[in-house]
Amino acid sequence: MRKTANFATLLLGFALTTLAPVAPSRAEPLLPGVNPDLPVQRQKKRHPEISDPVLGERAAVVEWAWSPQYARRFGLPAQPDGLKDGPLWLVGVKVQRLQAGERQTYHCRIAGLIDNRLAILWPPGEQYMIHPGYQWAGGLPGKHGVSPALTEGGEYTPAQSAKHKTPKNEAERTKGYGITTPYLLFYRSYLDNLAYFELDAGCAYFETADQFRNELRFPTRIDGKNDEDPRRVAVFEPSAATFDLPDALMRRIYPYTREADAWGGCLLHRIDGKRSPLPLWATRRFKGLCEPDSAVQPVR
């Protein structure tokens, strides 16, 4: 019980901090291209030497949603617009900035607690982890290639997706946006019957809650063995266990996932140039801020 109490106390303090009212804005200039409507940019600056266009003075921004059963068990206020009681007790979306070699960009994570008795495909063993820089060959120096240990076992990989709430045609009704989200961390018995998971999500695949239903999906079948449609990945088939990310959660975090996607593309374009082209809207918004170093003119 002591472990549970400590966890609840930590989370309560963290949640109250993230949900605290925004302090009055100070008349401080923002960097070019920064969205002044982000809540972290409207907060009073405590560390003016730290400035990030997406995260403000933070290393990461996270928003949580929990169920009534989670609130009762861990002593938190109920969230009327949070999760419903069910296998998924807690879910959070986190935005952070990471460095991988010469590349600097933003990453999104989905974390939470889920009933470890749920009939889904689970990662192997009691604990599982993967190097967070796996997309860049683990972040090791030299030309190693991507280790098979970082790419195998995809049959248990979850996914995120976004579907139109009011589709205008058949294509919008049957299709959405989705991407698989590999496990970064997994603890099967984190708290009694609850497993902790942290997934490598795609910032660009979160959509506005005004038009889309954002989902978290866990596979129950294996591609090519017992799945329903050989043309589709099993985690995107109807047999998958799906959970809606609450609209209220998405309304709080979507401004950050959208900015992370935009600024992440900007930072990559500075390094990769034509290999990482910017969409037209980003080109107009950033007005030359994202051009590769060789094209940047010194400020006079």
Q: What is the pLDDT of residue 215?
A: 96
Which residues fall within 8 angstroms of residue 223, CB to CB, at 6 or more apart? 155, 230, 233, 234
CA distance 175 to 60: 31
- In degrees and rounded to multiples of 5, residue 198 shows phi and psi of -135, 125
What pLDDT, on the 0 to 100 scale, is given for residue 255? 94
Q: What is the rounded CA–CA span in Å between residue 10 and residue 18?
A: 12
Please tell me whether residue 108 adopts helix, strand or coil conformation. Answer: strand
Nearest CA to 256 among 2, 35, 1, 23?
35
The torsion region of residue 101 among left (phi > 0), alpha (psi -120 to 50) and beta comes to left
185 within 8 A of 158, measured Cβ to Cβ: no
For residue 294, what pLDDT is reported? Answer: 61
* Tokens linked to 266: 């900007």
- Starting at the edge strand found earlier in the chain, the sheet holding 103-115 runs 60-66, 88-100, 103-115, 194-201, 183-191, 127-129
**pLDDT of res. 89:** 98
Which residues fall within 8 angstroms of residue 255, CB to CB, at 6 or more apart?
A: 35, 37, 38, 39
Each of the 300 residues of the chain gets a pLDDT tens digit; together they read 444 445 444 444 444 344 444 444 444 566 677 877 788 777 777 777 777 888 888 889 999 999 999 999 999 999 999 999 999 999 999 999 887 667 778 999 999 999 999 999 999 889 988 765 555 545 566 666 666 555 555 789 999 999 999 888 887 776 678 999 989 999 999 998 999 999 999 999 999 999 999 999 999 998 778 877 777 888 898 899 999 999 999 999 999 999 999 998 888 888 877 767 777 877 788 888 888 866 444 333
Domain-by-domain residue ranges, the chain? 60-130+153-291
Amino acid making up residue 278 = L
The SS3 of residue 46 is coil
**What whole-number distance in Å separates Cα of residue 8 and Cα of residue 246?**
21
